[in-house]
Amino acid sequence: MAGDPNLSDQERKELASLILNSRPVPQRYRASLFEDALETELIWPGKVTDVDRTVLPFQSIEHIDEPRSETVVQPSLFSMNQETGRQAGGWTNKLIWGDNKLILSSLAYGPMRQAVDAAGGLKLVYIDPPFNVDSDFDMEIQVGEGDVKATKEASVVETAAFRDTWGKGRDSYAVMISDRIKLIYSLLDASGVLVIHSGFQVNHLIRSIAEEVFGEENVVDEIIWAYGSASGGRAAGNKVIKVHEYLLVCAKDRRGMTYNKQYTPYSEKYLKDWFRFTDEDGRIYRRRARDKGADGETKWEKQYLDESPGVALTSVWTDIQQVYADPRAYIAGSLSELTWQYPTQKPEALLERVIKAYSNEGDLVADFFAGSGTTLAVAEKLNRKWIGADLGRFAIHTSRKRLISIQRLKAKQHEPYRAFEILNLGAYERQFFAGIDMDLPPRERAAASELHQSQYLSTVLEAYEAEPASQFEVFQGLKGAAGVYIGRIDAHISQAEVLAALAAAQRYGLARVDILGFEFEMGITPAMADEARQNGIALTLRLIPNEVFDRRAIAKKEVKFLDVAYLEVKPIYGKNRSVAIQLEDFSVFYSQEDADVVANSMKNGSERIVVDSGQVIRIQKSKSGTIRREQLTTEWAEWIDYWAVDFDYESQKEIIQLTENGVAQDLWTGRFIFENQWQDFRTRDDRTIKTLSEAHVYGQPGQYSIAIKVVDIFGIDTTKVIKVQVK
């Protein structure tokens, strides 16, 4: 340092003072402090060089497989259970709900990495991360069969994640995308490719980060998707009209990457100018001049049109429209599609081209910002294995319906397809958010969970706007006249806990009990609330949202505790040991806005549609200020968007893998996997839904547990388990 001619005496003194006082040294001195030659590097506040290696076990929520006949399955894919017509063994596609950073690190460094490698390794990842700081994640949804529509607001989890992404502008975005690119790099196969979709707002930043992670030589292409060339652009005030976005292609190692050359059809002008000849068989061809022969005559070569693939693909794609421009947009020979009315949805034609170019049939591809599931849908159609992940519950629900639709279509066409499962990180993700070190062995992690329990209870009470109540044996808090019972961070609330809370309320003379939990044991029914009411106690069951771990959301009082929906069903017994399920009632108490507050804040002469206390309400305020309310929902079935039945619920245990001392161990969680054996759901084009399932025939008499899962129009699940006696 003393010999560096670029440092002044004053700078040397400043550096010495900083070092002696253990203060950070400004970045501008790096070149002077280190001997090694430095490459160009992007620096931002919060940048770290380490890769997050947090490993959480995946929990299976649902297993979905449309039964198929033996004529559908190719033996090279997997074996099939001949009795049920469902997949048995082999890779199962995965749709994962949760924070994609935790999902990526758990895939890259956890036990599931073995399954990924056994499936051939991850060959292609396509991601379309948010790149617009003004993005609006609210969406319009349809209610029931009529024309009633409501706005589904983004969850606080989604908006909090968006705040984390853009909270400090480019710096926080750089932290978010850098973490995920590093993890994807770790997870990719040696021949794998990452394709990042972005806009002009962040493309330059993403490219710099990608070059750091993959190496400049392995950022192989920057593709311009010029959708405006085909469909026009959007007005942009005093700016030029934006008509393009970017696809950045990064290879783990460009020398071994997969690339299948793609072609676009010849233009009419090109065909007219060049393919001008027809042979005696009627085949159209063009002539190509070759070297002259010994006689000096030009030799001609024929290139037949029916043997020509087209024009080799360039780095500017102008033939694929945006979904909003044409809901059924496609290119010649591509897969047709419908819009799933999801924000930022990309056309299937775009993903078809990417997947065909950078992977082969049977390869494993992934999308960790899955949205409505376009990447997964196209991968399924093109016979690829897949992994999808998203933070939004509604995104997972939309993808589930879309993928089941493809399974049904393939089954009808006698084409092969794989089962898929819905996973999350469940209680383990909540432990991570609560600050528990997930690298601890299970016993130590349980002890740490106990230590964090007090802080956890305080946080939930604050979010619920309740007061601590240490004077009660059972209840942790009071909210008005209600005793508040909070379930553990890493377990569901059991029926025994509910009964204990009700008994305590009677002892203490409380007229109301609010029970808060992340999950409730299957089988808690409206009858419990009815029995409590007969004893003079109002019982309310509410779900704790993950937003309770966001201090900003608590401070702004944005955390919403949703009432647990109540579901009534009845088994219908038939001949030959058959049972069907009849939906009887579905009670929802979901609220997005208080109708009275909205009405008072509206301007005269305006109209709003709100969701309040489980009803969709149209509020109209006349020019004179008169308020008129109209309830648009009239039937309980209008709230049901999807429902499914597992006719033998306790047949499949939920097994998770935990790694201790480097050894993977299987552990039964005490729960069972929901095997989706029958389902019905609404689509954009068919708004009807059945309330009676198809009958299931049991092979043997006996007692069986049947699980019924209902998903409402906002994507929230409610499950109920009943017992049936089959004779």
CA distance 529 to 541: 9
Residue 155 confidence (pLDDT): 60
pLDDT beyond 50 at 336:
no
- Looking at CATH, the fold of the domain delimited by 59-133+169-265+310-424 is given as Rossmann fold (3.40.50)
Cβ atoms of 242 and 254 within 8 Å: the answer is: no
The dihedral through the CA atoms of 687, 379, 678, 392 has a sign that is: negative
Tell me the average pLDDT across 245-273: 89
SS3 601: helix
Task: Indicate the pLDDT class of residue 690, thresholds 50, 70 and 90.
Answer: very high
Residue 347 confidence (pLDDT): 87
Task: Indicate the pLDDT class of residue 411, thresholds 50, 70 and 90.
Answer: confident
Domain ranges (residues) in the chain: 59-133+169-265+310-424, 268-307, 432-563, 566-726
SS3 725: strand
Total Cβ atoms within 10 A of residue 331 = 19
pLDDT beyond 60 at 82:
yes
Cβ atoms of 95 and 388 within 8 Å: the answer is: yes
Residue for token pair 């942009």: 236
Tell me the average pLDDT across 323-333: 43
Residue 505 confidence (pLDDT): 93
Cβ atoms of 529 and 505 within 8 Å: the answer is: no
Percent of the chain with pLDDT over 90: 36
Task: Single out the residue of 585, 577, 631, 624 nearest to residue 604, CA to CA.
Answer: 624
E strands present in 82-199: 86-88, 93-97, 122-127, 139-142, 149-152, 188-198
Residue for token pair 């060049």: 274
pLDDT beyond 80 at 490:
no
Residue 11 confidence (pLDDT): 75
Tell me the average pLDDT across 112-126: 95
Please give the distance of CA 258 from its chain centroid, rounded to a whole number: 26
Task: Determine the longest span between alpha carbons in the chain, in angstroms.
Answer: 114
Total Cβ atoms within 10 A of residue 50 = 7
Pairing of strands 93-97, 482-486: unpaired
pLDDT beyond 90 at 525:
no
Task: Single out the residue of 10, 11, 49 nearest to residue 28, CA to CA.
Answer: 11
Cβ atoms of 364 and 120 within 8 Å: the answer is: yes
Question: How many Cα atoms within 13 Å fall on the side-chain side of residue 300?
Answer: 7
3-state secondary structure 62-128: EEECCCCCCCCCCCCCCEEECCCCEEECCCCEEEEECCHHHHHHHHHHCCHHHHHHHCCCEEEEEEC
CA distance 87 to 345: 30
SS3 491: coil
* Residue 680 CB-density burial (10 A; 0-12 exposed, 13-18 middle, 19+ buried): middle
| Secondary structure element (H or E) that encloses residue 256, with its range | none
Task: Single out the residue of 560, 533, 564 nearest to residue 548, CA to CA.
Answer: 560
Residue for token pair 């550096």: 15
Cβ atoms of 86 and 419 within 8 Å: the answer is: yes
Task: Single out the residue of 600, 606, 567 nearest to residue 583, CA to CA.
Answer: 567
* C-alpha to C-alpha distances, 594 to 53, 454, 599, 632, nearest whole angstrom: 43, 32, 9, 16
CA distance 329 to 348: 8
Give pLDDT tens digits for 579-604: 999 999 998 876 777 778 788 888 99
Report which of residues 228 and 471 the model is more confident about: 471
Report which of residues 129 and 529 the model is more confident about: 129
Residue 223 confidence (pLDDT): 93
Question: How many Cα atoms within 13 Å fall on the side-chain side of residue 688?
Answer: 2
Residue for token pair 């090279």: 76
| Secondary structure element (H or E) that encloses residue 569, with its range | strand 566-573
CA distance 141 to 616: 11
Task: Indicate the pLDDT class of residue 246, thresholds 50, 70 and 90.
Answer: very high
Which of 8-22, 63-77, 684-698 shows the lowest mean pLDDT across its residues? 63-77
Cβ atoms of 484 and 501 within 8 Å: the answer is: no
Helix, strand, coil in percent for the chain, rounding step 5: 30, 30, 40
Task: Indicate the pLDDT class of residue 93, thresholds 50, 70 and 90.
Answer: very high
* C-alpha to C-alpha distances, 352 to 168, 248, 348, 422, nearest whole angstrom: 35, 16, 6, 24
* C-alpha to C-alpha distances, 280 to 187, 283, 298, 300, 308, nearest whole angstrom: 56, 7, 22, 17, 19
Residue 44 confidence (pLDDT): 60
Q: What is the pTM of this model?
A: 0.81
Cβ partners under 8 Å of residue 363, min gap 6 = 120, 123, 124, 258, 384, 385
Residue 199 confidence (pLDDT): 87
CA distance 144 to 691: 13
Q: Which two tokens stand for residue 471?
A: 């004077």
CA distance 527 to 67: 35
Total Cβ atoms within 10 A of residue 655 = 14
Residue 211 confidence (pLDDT): 93
Instruction: Kindly give the interhelix angle for 170-187 and 100-109, rounded to the nearest 10 degrees.
Output: 30
SS3 386: strand
